[in-house]
Structure 1
Amino acid sequence: MMKIDDYAYISGLKDVHPVEKVSFALIFLFFTILSKNISVACFTFTVMSILVLFKAKIPFIAYMKLLFVPFIFLMTSLVAILFSIAPIYQEGLEVLWMVKIGSWQIYISSNSIQQSYELAATIVASVSCLYFLVLSTPLNQLMWILKKVKLPTVFVELIGITYRFIFVLLEKMNEIYIAQSSRLGYQNYRSWFSSVAQLIVSLFIKSMHAAKELQIAIDSRGGDEHLYDVDLSLGYNRGHFVIIIISFVTLFMIYVMTKS
């Protein structure tokens, strides 16, 4: 998790204008979500993965680890969609697999399988779009985009502070965990629960101290200065906008050809 921010600043796409990256990612993201088409989702995932691995130059293992996190939550969601419960006497069900428990039946239908495929493909493709954006766009560029779309300054700065605090707290948590492990804090279940409780309390205290220090820093400068005043010197590339248009047309053609 802590490497995500580092990858964004060393990415091979960090010097591409953020408007181009955001436009490219959002076109794929919205098209994938709105169409709910497996072919569109597969094309989106392929394009985004190629760009992340070969253009942004993110290590393959790191990218797989990042994809594995939402994949776990996806599997738990698919179980609820894949399996259905109905009374035994209910008729008209397209049952592919079934097990009876008392007066109820747990079954899998062809419709639930189709829905699971579509949901899995859509989620994985959407996540790849977000990873492409996060792994190739530093925070200052994202803040610049948010300000250009006229979001309230307070809202933009809260996003920036929250984003920074995530990595600060993760680093503090890792330090506390290493210190506890070096003193055998996780050798059995009893010590494990005690160490986790102490870690949570310590993390809360450290987060409060960090927030207080940030507030003192803001107040010392008068409290009216913006934290994220960003001025980008990056230029636009017409070739990238041509690629964006071609991508949109390609997505539309794939959707039309596979709709039936």
Structure 2
Amino acid sequence: MNTDKALEIMNINKNDLYSLDHVILKKKYHQLALKLHPDKGGSNDKFRQLQEAYDYLNIMVELNTFNKSPYENYINNSSTNFEYKDVINKLKKYIFKYINSVSMSYINECDDKQIGNLEKILEYYKHKIPPSVYNKIISTINTTNECKTFILKPTIDDLLENKIYRLNYNNEIFNVPLWHSELYYDTKNTDEICVKCIPELNPFIDIDSDNNIHIYIFENINTLFKNQYIDIQLSDNFTYKIHARDITVLPSQKIILKNKGITKISNKNLYDTNYKSDIIVTLNIH
């Protein structure tokens, strides 16, 4: 995989490479994944290539954001036309080289949001980073946070069913509502622990900061006219119907299923499940 090939697979103009960000890239991936996923009639090979192209460009975008660290020199001196495995190898080398000298000073300057983004990036690329390096970075983050951090990975069903996870820490039980993205608890020995929930979602689904579920659907117009409805399947246990009368004949549109989503986060009562977020369907008709 190289840059030109990745851009071609994802239908991105080369001139747009340096204006890419994770939001644009992920949206493009969702659109193509809906077409190419084997469950939607696509081929395994094309879907695998799409995933490789997405991973490759994600790394390119991520490296390019480190413009105030030693990664900047790496980006400025690197060609955009190198192999995917070389990107991974060079990323590993830079992590190895700067983990002790830079990580602590860099992480100390990060705010909570930046720390959260860094943790998500690390979790996403965990299988591509040597365990010793990954553990070192996480240890640095935990030291900076001055609290023990736990990462939970609930399913979409866990969120929709208002599941609560019982966390045992030093023989003390903490009931964690999984629809919260991040919670802090004080322990009996005055330690503070942080619990972060990073849901495991399929490529067609996103969850925004207000707990709204975004799902991206491609549907054939002939199938729509024949069935007179579309099934919106979030999981095996949660399927919603959108009737043809609620759909306009436009190539792309958003349909909002009000109050059908995940429980909204309440700062007054962590366990309040009375208010639900929306499910926002981006429907593309072809």
Larger Rg: 1
Shorter-chain TM-score range? under 0.3
TM-score norm. by structure 1 comes to 0.25
Higher RCO (C-alpha 8 Å, min separation 6): 1
Q: Which structure has the highest strand share of the two? A: 2
TM-score norm. by structure 2 comes to 0.24
